[in-house]
Chain A
Amino acid sequence: MSLDQAALAFREEALELLEEVEETLLSLENHPEDPGPMSKLFRAMHTMKGSGAMFGFNEIARFTHEVETALDMVRNGRLPFSQDLASLILVSRDHILRLLGETGSNPRLRGESDKLILKLSEITGQTVGEAAAPYSETGPGIDTDSPAEADAPICTWWIRYRPHPDSFLSGTDPLCLVAELTEMGPHRVIAHDAAVPDLISLAPEHAMVWWDILLISGANEADIRGIFLFVEDEHEIQVTRLATSVLCQQDLDMSVRRLASSDWDDAEKLKQEVAGPLAAALPRRTLPSPSPVEVEKTEPAVTATTIRVESARLDRLVDFVGEMVIIQSRLQQTALTRDDSLIRTIAEELDRVVSKMRDETLRIRMLPIGGMFGTLRRLVRDLARNLGKQAEFIAEGGDTELDKNVIDRLKDPLVHILRNCVDHGLESPEARLAAGKPAQGTVRLQASHVSGEVHIEINDDGGGINLERVRAKAEEKGLLAPGEPADDRRILDCLFAPGFSTASKISNVSGRGVGLDVVKVSIEELRGQVSLESTPGAGTRILMRLPLTLAIIDGMQVRVGFERYIIPLAVVRACQERHCQDEAVPVDTISWQGQMTPCLSLRALLGVTGERPRYERIVIVRSEGVDMGLAVDAVIGQQQAVIKRLSEVYRNVDFISGTAVNGDGSIVLILDVSRLTRHAMVHYGNSGVFKRRSQIHHYPEIAGGLSKA
C-alpha cells in the first residue's frame, strides 16, 4: 500500500468516523445520561487523532487532540455534558471534515482550528496555552507546519475593487476575481451598483459595478493583491487591513452598513470611520465572538469517493441486471424473426447498453484482495512468534480484484494454508541455519489475473513436504495400496483427502486432521481449483485458481429428454457420440483417447423420463482429476449463464449447483460435475469402471458426507 493509498484509506475511515460522530452526538443529545455513546465518541476521535498523525494529517491530529481531551473529561465525569458542548463538537466535526479536504496546510483552516480550540478550552476550563499546545505525541518523524505559515495571523481585510469599465472587452470577468478572493476565507461582499444607469442607456459590455469586500483570512496583502496581478494597472484596487484579528459578527455588520452607504471617493475617510472604532473596541475583547464564520461557505465540501452499500442490495441489483439480460435476449430473438429494421436496430442498441451495464454491475462487486492482507500478515506474525519461528510475510498483487463473495469465502482457506506454511512448512531458525538458509523464513502470497481467472499462489521457503511420510500415512489410511507405484503428484494429492494429516502430534495451530481437504472443498465451492507442489528442502507452492465472479459462468447447454442442463465449460474437454440400443444404465464405459473411461448417463442418474435416443452425444469432462463421459441426448450450444442459487428447500439435491434462465424465460439447471463424479465414484466405484482408469482414491468418508451434505 503506497502512502497515497494509505492517506486515501485514512480519509475514508475518517469520513466514516465523522459520520458516526454526528449520529452519536445527535443520539446523545436525546439520552445524555447514557455513557456508551460518549465512549464511542471518544474512541472515534482517538482513532482519528492516531491515524491522522500516522498519515501526516498533522492539523487534524492537533485539532482532534483537543476535542478528544474535552470528550475524555466528560467521559471521566470531570465535565458535564451540555448542549453547548454538543454543538461545539458538531462544529468541530464539520471543521475536521473541511480539514480532510486540504492536502497541504492551510493557514486559514489553522486559524479556524485555533478559534474552535479556544472555545473548547472555554468549556473545559483548561488554559488556552495548555489546550492549544500542538499535539505532542506525533513523535519526531512528523514535522509540524513551517513556522512562517503557523505564525500567519488572521486578519480582517477590507478590499475595495473597481474594475475598469472596459474590462469585459479585455476578457476579464471581475466577478471571477471577486469569487477568487472570497475563496480565501469567510467574507462579506458589498456590490455597489449605483453607477449602473437605466436600462435604456445601459451599455451591457461595460462593467459599472464596484465592490467592497471584507475578508477574514490568514493571507497577507501580497496574497490578496496577487489575485489582481494581471489587472492591477487598469483596475482600481485598495487593500486595507482593518484589524489584526477576526472581527465579530457585530463589528462586521457595522462595517458592512457603513461601507454599503459609501461612495468610491470616501475611501480615506472610511478608513478612519471603520477602522477607528474597531481599533478602539478590539483590545477589550479577548476572544473572538461566536460566529464570523457563518457567512456562506464557499469551499467545496469533502464528499466520500466511495459509498458503502449493503451487499444484499448489490445482489439484488445483480439479480435485476441478470433479468434484464434475459429479457434483452428475448427481445433480440423476437426482433430477428420480424422483418422490421427499426425494431432490430433498437434491439441491437439495447444489447450494447445491457452488456455494458452487466459488466459494470458485476464490477461493482469486485474488491481488491489486498483488503485481507493485513489480517493474514498479522496471522503469520503471531503464529511464527508462538511457534518460535521467524517468518516474513510478503504479499503481492493486492490490487487484484475479485468478487466480494469470493473474497469473503476465500479467507478461511487462506488462513488454513498460511497456518500450514508456518507450522509445517517453515523450519525452526536453527534448522534453517543448519541447512544454509537465512534464519528468517519467507511466506509469499501472490495474487494475479491470468486469462479470466485469478491465481493466488502461496510459496514458502521451508522444508517442503516429506513425500515418504505422506506415502506412509496414505498407505496407513488406505488411500494407496502398499507398494503401489505412484508419482509425486499422486502422493501429494493424498494430502487433500479428508482427515489426512502428517503432523505426528496435534498442535494448537494446525494438524488436527482437518486442513487441506477443507481448503479443497471451499475452493471448489467457489468453482476454483487448488494444486500443490513441493520441492524437498526448498519449499512448498500452493496455487489456487479462482473464477473472477460467482455470478456468471460459461456453460455448455445440453438436452436430455425434454430437460435442459448446463455443464460448466471449464470442465468440458471434448464431445463424442455413439450409437446405443438398450435401456440407459447409470454407468458404463466408453473409449476416450484410447482408454476405457467411465460414462455416466444423465438420463438414468437424473431420472429423466422419455425414450433414450438411438444416437447419444457424450460430453467428456474432467473433474476430481478424472476424465469421465456424460451421456446426453443433444448438445445445444455454448452460453453464458447468470447463476442463481437454488432455493434452500433443495439443500439435499446433490447434482445441481444452481439455476440459470434461458432466453425464452425457462429455467435451466447447472450441473455440479464434481459432485456427480464423486457420487458416481462412491456408488459405482467398486464396479471396476473407475479403477480401470486407475488413480481414483476411494474415500470412504465421502460416502457419509454425500448423502447428508
Chain B
Amino acid sequence: MQDSIANASRRYLTLTLGSESFAIHIDVVREILDYTDITRIPQAPPFMRGVVNVRGAAVPVVDLAHKLGLGEVKRTINTRIVIMEVSRDGVPSVMGALADSVREVLELNDGNIAPPLRMGAQAKADCLRGIGNHDGRFILILDVDRVFATDELLDMAGLLTSASSDADAQVSV
C-alpha cells in the first residue's frame, strides 16, 4: 500500500509542445479531452485561448506553448486539452492546458530529476520544476502552479486591456 502511494507520487504525464517533451505531475491531472471548440473570451491575452465546457463548467484553457514562448498550439488530430486541478493562490481551481499531443504516463524517481537550468532550455525557466531523465531522454517538468499563477495571468490580461483601450482611442463618428 505504502509502496503504491510512493509510486503514484512519482508518476508524470508527458505531453509535447512543438518538438519538446514536458511532464506534469499526475496528481493534478483530472482528465484529458480531445480538442473541442474553445469559446474565445474577448479582451483576454492570446495565450488564454478561452473556455471549454467540462460537464457544465466553463473551464479556462491556456495555450501552454504560447505561455512558455514556444509558438502556438495548432489544431491537429493529436491536439489535446489536459484538464488539471491546480492551486491558484491557495485556492483550488480547474484549468485546461492545450498541448500538441499527450504521450504517456511514466515514473521518474526523484534521483532522476535535476533542478531546472537557468539557460539553455527554450521554455521559460521559471515555469519549470526540474528536468527529468527517462531512459536517456530529457523531459522538462512543469510547475503547473506557477504556469497558472493568477498574478501572471492577470498581469498579461491587464496589459492587454490597457493596450486595447489605447488602440480604441481613435474614434470615428
Contact = CB atoms under 8 A, between A and B. Distances in A.
B43 A563 contact: no
Contact of A646 (B51, B153, B162, B172): B51
Nearest to A586: B168
A649 B60 contact: yes
Given A688-B173, A707-B162, A650 B56 contact: no
Contacts of B93: 647-649
Interface stretch (B20-28, B34-42, B99-107, B113-121): B34-42
Contacts of B57: 319, 644
B171 A687 contact: yes
Interface in A628-672: 644, 646-656, 659, 661, 665-669
Interface string A310-338: 00000000011011001000000000000
A644 B58 CA distance: 7
B150 interface: yes
24 contacts: A323-B56, A588-B172, A606-B43, A608-B42, A644-B56, A648-B88, A648-B93, A649-B48, A649-B88, A649-B93, A651-B157, A652-B154, A652-B157, A653-B43, A654-B43, A659-B58, A661-B56, A661-B58, A665-B53, A667-B39, A667-B52, A667-B53, A683-B165, A707-B158
A653 B44 contact: yes
Interface in B126-159: 148, 150, 153-154, 157-158
A238 interface: no
A607 interface: yes
B166 to A, nearest CB: 10
Interface residues of B, number: 36
Contacts of A621: none
B173 A589 contact: yes
State which size class the interface on A falls in.
Answer: 35 or more
Interface string A584-627: 01111100000000000000011110000000000000000000
Given A606-B42, A665-B53, A668-B39, 16 more contacts: A585-B172, A588-B173, A605-B42, A608-B42, A644-B57, A649-B88, A649-B93, A649-B153, A651-B157, A652-B158, A659-B51, A667-B51, A667-B52, A669-B39, A707-B158, A708-B158
A514 interface: no
A684 interface: yes
A689 interface: yes
Contacts of A648: 88, 91, 93, 150
A648 B171 CA distance: 31
Given A585-B172, A587-B171, A589-B173, A654 B39 contact: no
A391 to B, nearest CB: 43
A322 B161 CA distance: 32
A656 B58 contact: no
B58 A687 contact: no
Contacts of A651: 154, 157
B59 interface: yes
Given A647-B51, A653-B42, A653-B44, A667 B58 contact: yes
Contact of B42 (A585, A589, A655, A666): A655
Interface of A: 319-320, 322-323, 326, 563, 585-589, 605-608, 644, 646-656, 659, 661, 665-669, 683-684, 687-689, 707-708
Contact of A322 (B39, B56, B88, B95): B56
**Which 8 pairs across A and B sit closest by C-beta, in order of nearness?**
A323-B56, A606-B42, A659-B58, A667-B39, A652-B157, A585-B172, A687-B171, A647-B60
A647 B56 CA distance: 13
Contacts of A659: 39, 51, 58
A264 B88 CA distance: 80
Nearest to A668: B39
B58 A646 contact: yes
A565 to B, nearest CB: 9
A654 B44 CA distance: 10
A651 B60 CA distance: 12
A666 B57 CA distance: 11
A654 B95 CA distance: 20
Interface in B35-74: 37, 39-44, 48, 51-53, 55-60
A651 to B, nearest CB: 6
B164 interface: yes
B169 interface: yes
Contact of B43 (A652, A661, A667, A688): A652
Contacts of A667: 39, 51-53, 58
Most chain B beta carbons < 10 A, residue from A654, A667, A668: A667
A151 B141 CA distance: 82
Contacts of B165: 683, 707
Nearest to A659: B58
Contacts of A647: 51, 58-60, 93, 95
Contacts of A689: 173
A563 B161 CA distance: 20
A132 B164 CA distance: 79
Nearest to A326: B56
A652 B161 contact: yes
Contacts of B48: 649-650
A320 B55 CA distance: 9
A667 B42 CA distance: 14
Given A322-B56, A323-B55, A649 B172 contact: no
A589 B172 CA distance: 10
